[in-house]
Amino acid sequence: MSVVKVIEVIATSEKSFDDAVKNALDEASRSVKNISSVYVKEMKADVKDNKIISYGVNAKVSFTVDKLNG
């Protein structure tokens, strides 16, 4: 039997929201294995001189862990 855990991460990109989500997944996968999904909880964009300068996401990353015996 396995258990699903969830962590919350914040990531940004100067390109797009999609790229910010990819950055969140890439960074989380450096220390977490068995990632099964990413849920984007919030999105925001920083604006300067009426232009978007960065995109940000607050995302929940779900991953499975093996249940320890005992």
The CATH number of the domain holding residue 56 is 3.30.1660.10
Residue 3 neighbours by CB distance under 10 Å? 10
Instruction: Tell me which residue range forms the domain holding 54.
Output: 2-65
What is the mean pLDDT for each group of 10 consecutive residues in the chain (70 residues)?
Answer: 91 98 96 95 98 98 80
Q: Is residue 70 part of a domain?
A: no
Q: Is residue 27 part of a domain?
A: yes
Q: What is the pLDDT of residue 68?
A: 65
Q: What is the pLDDT of residue 69?
A: 61
Residue given tokens 């068995």 in the structure block: 34
Residue given tokens 């940004």 in the structure block: 12
Q: What is the C-alpha to C-alpha distance for residues 27 and 63, in angstroms, rounded to an integer?
A: 14
Q: Is residue 10 part of a domain?
A: yes
Question: Helix, strand or coil for residue 27?
Answer: helix
* Number of domains, the chain: 1
Q: 34 CB contacts (<8 Å, ≥6 apart)?
A: 63, 64, 65
